[in-house]
Structure 1
Amino acid sequence: MTVRRHLSPYERAVWAAGEALPATVAGAVHVEGATTPGRLRDAVAAVRARHPLLGSRVERGGPWRAWFTTEGVPETPLRVEYPVAGRTVARVLEEELQRPFATADGPLARFVVVDGGDSFDLIAVFHHLVADGHSAAVVFRDILRHLAAPGAGGPAVAAPPADGLLPGPRVRPADLAKLSRSLRLPRQAGPPALPPGHAAPLTCRTWTLDRAETTALLDRCRAERTTVHAALCAAFARARRAPGPARIAVAADLRRILAPVPEESVGLYAASFLLPVATGRPHDDLWEGARELRERLHRRLRPEELRPLVAGFRLLPLPDGMITRLLHRSENKGARFDVSLSNFLTSIPDTYGDLRLTAFHGAAHTSLSGAPLVILIGFGGRLFFSVTSTDPDAAGLCERAMTHLNAAVTPARPAGARL
């Protein structure tokens, strides 16, 4: 499928932001079973043909217009590595997240395989303009399907912009006000972002809850009438060491409100909003806070609240250069949020012929401020976490948050209690 279409107002804003800020998202899967670099290259080419935005570039047509085009875009890169002691998938992710995409040249996706012989790790890296977490799952599924049965892939899938799939009228004057409120909270005192060349190194850390731990967490959340996402927000707010409410950036999957739902499309169908969360006192019940957060998240995820996060950009007809400069200036003043939490459940299969998908982590680098970006993926009865940040305390923040969460799931027995 040949593509040439205008970037929507929302896509143009994300593209312009990516000219000044990091705009890279990635996924990493571990697969039991053998393949070859040649077979993987064929699979990547087939998936690019099925999802053409992966093989696109951005053509600028002046300060207010830009297009996706697949014309003149080179082959999608696939780099092959082999296991080396001490070089983990997290290290590969750190390197790839810091490599910007040349959007004018394309393509806007690339891949790395770490070939272990009887198993392999596959890393997919995307410009956020053409993929989100759900998109990454679709790409991995389609690659593994092609490896299991070459030539069995389906027809090309269009990726219409989210702007055109929103419910309700095209433009509402109130959308701009709601967009501004959703993206802005008062900044708190803190260090500004460090200039290039002086920033701390970007680090990525991954961890996993096994099936028993995942089941215990899900069961407790159901018993407490809340959700994992709300419980995580409460735990991370409690884990902060700074005074005042935590500013949590919550990622939202727009597919919940779009019609028709772009279930098979690979593109940008995600947005985020800021949520202030009280830290609570050490002896406060985490579940009480999580129940209150569940209600607040439920309200913020309603169509009338999510819609302005995309539609509002139609009322911001700024030239792309101005968008780039404004966002760069804002980021250099410091982080807009203390931690970003993305959470999604994927139901893609785990078995593809002789190949078995056993792990799925996500990662992202979308801010100069260095604030931690935490991604949680539910897959195969387990929860896969990652955190990416230049904050030296990011790993400590996650450890404290998980300690709070684990203590709430399995509270200590009273003294003298029988086992």
Structure 2
Amino acid sequence: MKRNLLFLERVLFGDGSEPFHGVYALKINGQLNHAQLRTALARLQEKYAMLRTAIGIGATGIPYFYTPLSRPEIPLRIVEREGDDDWNNETVHELGTSFDIQNGPLLRITWIRSTDVSDLIMAFHHCMCDGGSGVALLNDLLALLDDPQAEIGKAPAFQSISDLIPAEILHNRRNRFKAKFSAALVHAGLSLGSLFISTKNKPLPPQDGRRSIGRRSGDPRQGDARKGDYLINWKLGAEQSKALFAQCKQEGVTVNTAIGLALMEAFKAINGAGAHGKATCPVDIRRYMPEVKRDMLFSYGLALNISLGKSVGTHFWEKAQTLQAHVSKQMNKLNPYEFTMIMEASHRSVHMLRRFLTYAKVGNDFMFSNMGKLDIPVQYRNFTVGTVYSPTVIGPFANPNTIITTTFNGQMDFSFVSNQAFMPPTTAMQIREKAMEILFETVIMPDSVRL
């Protein structure tokens, strides 16, 4: 396999020197062994061609995926389990530890093991894989751990945008002109904006002496490319989650909109004038582009923007309803084919866009994604999945605040990642508590349920 990176894959890749990773973590109740885990990882590489790739740089400076002749195995690191928080420590470590880009692969596993309980940490480079792809990988991995002979098929892969965009759209003259014209406007805007960007605007990471949150004191490991990253995770009980879902349905508001509004109001309450009242919400491109199959490894999605300025009303649910109307209008206008064509016409702007995202003045408070119910079974023949923690992702861009929520086994799970140099962990904790207070202030719950 060999193909050039798409425009947005290049944005996520950069020059390969800085980590931009996604990480999944889950707890397994039951016994695992090294041989079956190794076999499962080998089967994953057989199914997914992208798990056999590395990244090279062409003569013109354009990076490309390719399959090395040596085809290295998926790295497996083993850590002895000391407690229930080990997964957090290892997730932070994986977020900041670079891949061997030139040799691959761009996925690795950490096995935090004990006799009857294990945590599995799956890290992948974001330029290869997104959260939705990660769910497909986890499903296959768990199926193979339960039954090494399980049939998992072969994953589709694409070679160019012609595999993603129907020919009648891709080769339409009007569409091609519009893409080139829009790309020219993007280039002009970035060229102008770059005149006002200084690399001094990005906060410097803490010095090595400032230990990352969640890292064991005295940890001898070195080489983390990011210092000061931290992860805060929390869950809602099954009854709390059920009550929230029911309230949102009754009010005609998606869970994504309700939580997004609560988080924006929490940022405003805690940060005051320092809050922007805005957030970015990724949208799974698979909802709009059927060419991207469920088990196709794909790295990017669409996006919509939410803001407190679009939430008008006297109480929370009234504001949520007005915000929902704004969100629905944006959703109806999303066009993955047009978006991808514009991006592919913008390759000359990739370095300017990276500079803008990394050093320009921050204009929103956070990125928020509600991935919904995870299609992962709880019960297998030989083990049970105790929990799946919401995935995390963090990169080198100016605003590291990322909040992702998922639902597994009836419980909503939240992951909030940031960096100490951008936001103190104590502030993030205050925002978390305030957001849940705002969200559940008017949710009708059984008397026995408490936050």
TM surpasses 0.5: yes
1:395 maps onto 2:429 in alignment: yes
1:64, distance to aligned residue in structure 2 (A): 5.4
1:69 maps onto 2:66 in alignment: yes
What's 1:256 paired with?
287
1:354 maps onto 2:385 in alignment: no
Computed over aligned residues only, the root mean square deviation of the Cα atoms, in angstroms, reads: 3.1
Letter in 2 for 1:287: W
What's 2:219 paired with?
none
Distance 2:152 2:243 in 1: 38
Letter in 2 for 1:373: T
Distance 2:160 2:333 in 1: 13
Q: 2:27 aligns with which of 27, 30, 42?
A: 30
Contact 2:276 2:365 (C-alpha < 8 Å) held by counterparts: no
1:28, distance to aligned residue in structure 2 (A): 0.6
| CA deviation profile, 1:176-232 (whole Å, cap 9, x unmatched) | 749969x99x99xxx932234559711101111121111000000001000110001
Q: 1:328 aligns with which of 329, 340, 355?
A: 355
1:20, distance to aligned residue in structure 2 (A): 6.2
Number of matched residues? 401
| CA deviation profile, 1:245-289 (whole Å, cap 9, x unmatched) | 5220111100011133411222224243443333979x9311112
TM-score, with length taken from structure 2: 0.80
1:341, distance to aligned residue in structure 2 (A): 0.4
What's 1:45 paired with?
42
Distance 1:323 1:394 in 2: 31
Contact 1:364 1:373 (C-alpha < 8 Å) held by counterparts: yes
Gaps of 5+ in 1: 414-419
Distance 2:263 2:130 in 1: 23
1:11-410 to 2 correspondences below 5 Å: 11-16=9-14, 19=16, 22-63=19-60, 65-71=62-68, 72-85=70-83, 87-160=85-158, 163=161, 164-166=163-165, 169-170=169-170, 171-175=175-179, 177=182, 192-198=201-207, 201-240=228-267, 241-243=271-273, 245-278=276-309, 284-302=314-332, 304-318=334-348, 323-324=350-351, 326-328=353-355, 330-345=357-372, 346-361=374-389, 362-390=391-419, 391-392=423-424, 393-410=427-444
**Partner secondary structure for residue 159 of structure 1:** coil
Q: 1:313 to 1:226 in 2, by over 3 A?
A: same
Q: 1:344 to 1:125 in 2, by over 3 A?
A: same
1:54, distance to aligned residue in structure 2 (A): 2.0
Distance 1:236 1:296 in 2: 17
Q: 1:295 to 1:48 in 2, by over 3 A?
A: farther
1:80, distance to aligned residue in structure 2 (A): 0.8
**Partner secondary structure for residue 351 of structure 1:** coil
1:78, distance to aligned residue in structure 2 (A): 0.9
1:329, distance to aligned residue in structure 2 (A): 5.2
Q: 1:87 to 1:304 in 2, by over 3 A?
A: closer
What's 1:417 paired with?
none
| CA deviation profile, 1:132-165 (whole Å, cap 9, x unmatched) | 1111111111111111111223332122279442
Letter in 2 for 1:405: L
| CA deviation profile, 1:266-323 (whole Å, cap 9, x unmatched) | 2224243443333979x931111211222222222236444444332122131xxx73
Q: 1:200 to 1:108 in 2, by over 3 A?
A: closer
Q: 1:323 to 1:196 in 2, by over 3 A?
A: farther
**Partner secondary structure for residue 98 of structure 2:** coil
Letter in 1 for 2:407: G
Letter in 2 for 1:56: T
Gaps of 5+ in 2: 208-225
Contact 2:106 2:124 (C-alpha < 8 Å) held by counterparts: yes
**Partner secondary structure for residue 352 of structure 1:** coil
Contact 2:276 2:363 (C-alpha < 8 Å) held by counterparts: no
Q: 1:165 to 1:237 in 2, by over 3 A?
A: same
**Partner secondary structure for residue 233 of structure 2:** strand
**Partner secondary structure for residue 150 of structure 1:** coil
**Partner secondary structure for residue 302 of structure 1:** helix
Higher mean C-alpha deviation, range 51-60 or range 226-235: 51-60
Q: 1:231 to 1:66 in 2, by over 3 A?
A: same
